[in-house]
A and B are shown apart, each in its own frame.
Chain A
Amino acid sequence: MAQPEGLLFSKEHEWLKIDGDVGTIGITDYAQNSLGDIVYVELPRVGHEIKQFSSIGVVESVKAVSDLFTPISGEVIEVNGGLETDPALVNRDAFGAGWLYKVRIKGLNEKSALLSPSDYDALIAEAAH
């Protein structure tokens, strides 16, 4: 399955969209599909400084709790409030309405540690074996 262009990906199945110095972060469609019905999302608070690849929250499906890792460092400037009442937004539209949070990016050089859409495709193709 081809990934949306213009996004960067982490090995932990998060996506990052960069717009100036603002990064929008979510989990991939592959991730939401693997998790199944999502019933709760715990996100970092606005104002928190988070560090690339650190654990910053959890996604809970009916069956399991999974850690969330941020693909990039920065200050959290917004979280998706819609997930509080409708966490299944992540299942329905992982790359769109199901986004998780936004950060003010400090160091764009961290991008180099992330995967391109085709690299991420290769990663999940490998995981399928």
Chain B
Amino acid sequence: MTATPETLRRTALYDEHVALGARLVPFGGFEMPVQYAGILKEHDAVRQRAGIFDLSHMAQFELVGEGVADWADSLTTNAVGTMKPYQARYNLFCNERGGTHDDVLFYRLANRWLLVANASNAAKMWAHLKAHNERPDVRLESRHGQAALIAVQGPKAVEIVAPLCGGAASSAAELKYYFCAEGSVDGTPAVVARTGYTGEDGFELFVDGAEAARLWRRLLEVGKSYGLEPAGLGARDMLRLEAGMPLYGFELDEELSPLAGGQQWAVKMNKPAFVGKEALAAQLAADDYHRIAGFVLEGRVPARTGYPVFSGGERVGEVRSASIAPSYGNRNIGTALLPKTAIAVGTPLEIEIRGARHVAQVVSLPFYKRER
């Protein structure tokens, strides 16, 4: 007997992707566009003009009640209680061993919070949140698959999106990075957030699934004269790697702590208690954990996830993410999990590719930083 293949879900924008000629692949339980015109073209559109992404596969949880900040602070590494209204903040959930359960974004709205989790972790996170909530003053609701999320990213994103924003979001162009407003976009109720995952300026727009396709088409139409193009998960992965941002399953996982994954800045050890704190304190004290570093290869042969990494002739680690990097001189870059002794910038490395060792070296993250 063969296992029944898992039925893939579709976002509210599925028909739009098909109409645009997207190549669809399974991702996080959804059928998602990995590319439209081509990953390199889409990457360049985002860096030079703007790209529009469907992120509706990501899990959206709504948290309501007086106790949300306190409760969330007991489960996460970064501070939630200090968030101002309409602020957004990156955060991580750990397991008791300090490994990462998920990396997420919190958005604080007027009377509720949005928690956006990775699609691949949606079921796991929903179970985790429910299992850890016995408080009457915290109510949880999953909007996964109903609510849509559209991102417009790139230097032209503000010019494209801001004029369509209304209500409390009407001054979207003045929104600070990692802040949001609750208003409308082209007449559709929306949370407009100055957030993203590409290393570019831009917006993420939370709208109801029923309105998503109309808004998507409108944004493409308005954005046409600015060179806006639909961009898929392939371009998104390349953009986030260049920008030094971790991707769950690669730089972070149940075995890799936020410290190992390079997210120490988002671990607040001065919080009284949170899941995984003791384990992270022990890791910090011992300071002997393997950690993520950036590397660049000499030559034109790309690295891939899982390739062995050598330092001083010894096998010391493995490649976690890798790509060609148009915003880093078209060189082959990546991240590797390495011992503390091999992460200093300039450390010579060798990466084994089909049996041959290729020269690489440790470089600082991020690979790409936009000019502000």
Contacts and interface: CB of A to CB of B under 8 A. Distances in A.
Given A58-B354, A62-B39, A62-B324, A39 B234 contact: no
Interface in A37-86: 37, 39-40, 42, 58, 60, 62-63, 65, 84
Interface string B50-76: 000000000000000000000000000
B274 to A, nearest CB: 37
Contacts of B354: 42, 58
Contacts of A4: none
Contacts of B304: 65
Contacts of B38: 36-37
Contacts of B302: 39-40, 60
A40 to B, nearest CB: 6
B300 A84 contact: yes
Given A36-B38, A37-B40, A63-B34, A42 B301 contact: yes
A58 to B, nearest CB: 7
Given A36-B35, A36-B39, A37-B38, A62 B234 contact: yes
A60 to B, nearest CB: 5
The size bracket of the interface on A is 10 to 19
B361 interface: no
A40 B39 contact: no
Interface string B4-32: 00000000000000000001000000000
Given A58-B354, A62-B323, A63-B234, A37 B39 contact: yes
Contacts of A37: 38-40
A63 B199 CA distance: 20
Nearest to A58: B354
Nearest to B233: A63
B309 interface: no
A42 B353 CA distance: 12
Interface string A18-43: 00000000000000000011011010
Interface in B229-243: 234, 238
The 4 closest A-B pairs by CB, nearest first: A37-B40, A62-B39, A39-B324, A37-B38
